Amino acid sequence: MSQVTLQATTSRAQGTRNSRRLRIAGSIPAVVYGNGVTPLPVAVNAKEFRTAVSGDQGLNTLIALEADGASYTVLAREIQRHPVRGTVAHIDFQVVDPDRPVEATVPLHMIGDAVEVRHADWEIDQQMFSFALRTRPALIPTHIDVDISALTPGSAIHVKDVVLPAGVEAAGDPNANVVNTRAGRAAKTAERA
């Protein structure tokens, strides 16, 4: 995964009124925090931030944040949005070590065709739409594929059954359901008859 460089300024005044002025001027107030770093209030250009996180990695993009001569390797962790407009109102950047594992959440993509489930008039019930994982920042995948083609009526795929790339491990409950199967309307009608 490549790093995206983002410029930040540390000379922002704090407070609600000053943050509002920053947003009107096209900047987003933010804070940089992490292990060995005292919380540092910064401001980043809104358009540059949108460009930085608009790639395949999304919010898991590794960012080289340059602020007044210092450079921090960060991930955008907490993003607050305006309740009506949906624009980014504040960002929390977490400083990460490229050689140490971090937790990230990536989307799940269902692939394959559960032929046996479909022929039995059963349905696929997706329980998880994102997947919590633990890996080094450079190894965070854009998404996780879950193959449902081996599912049969009454079976399920659990977190421990999901095939993950090398160097990536699941961070959640290994027995949590990712995908279930359930009787469809036609199967339920046939059982009652």
Tens-place pLDDT, residues 30-87: 999 988 888 889 999 999 998 888 888 888 889 999 988 888 999 998 888 888 888 8
CA angle 125, 58, 130 (to 5 degrees): 20
Query: Looking at the domain 4-96, which fold is it?
Result: Ribosomal Protein L25; Chain P (2.40.240)
Token couple for 13: 């005044």
Residue 109 has pLDDT above 70, yes or no: yes
Whether this prediction's pTM lies above 0.85 is answered by no
Q: How many helices (H) and strands (E) does the chain have?
A: 4, 13
Give tens-digit pLDDT for 4-25: 888 888 876 677 777 778 888 8
DSSP three-state, residue 28? strand
pLDDT tens profile 140-178: 998 999 999 999 999 999 999 999 999 999 998 999 999
Give the pLDDT of residue 88: 87
Q: How do the domains of the chain map onto residue ranges?
A: 4-96, 103-192
- Tell me the sheet residues that pair with 169: 134
- The beta-carbon contacts of 164-171 under 8 Å, at least 24 apart in sequence, are 164/133, 165/139, 165/141, 167/135, 167/136, 167/139, 168/133, 168/134, 168/135, 168/139, 168/140, 168/141, 169/133, 169/134, 169/135, 170/131, 170/132, 170/133, 170/134, 171/103, 171/132, 171/133, 171/134
Position 92 pLDDT exceeds 60: yes
pLDDT band, very low/low/confident/very high, at 181 (cuts 50, 70, 90): very high
User: Which pair of tokens denotes residue 92?
Assistant: 């929390």
CATH 3.30.310.10 at 103-192, yes or no: no
**Number of residues in the chain:** 193
Phi-psi region of 34 (alpha: psi -120 to 50; beta: other; left: phi over 0): left
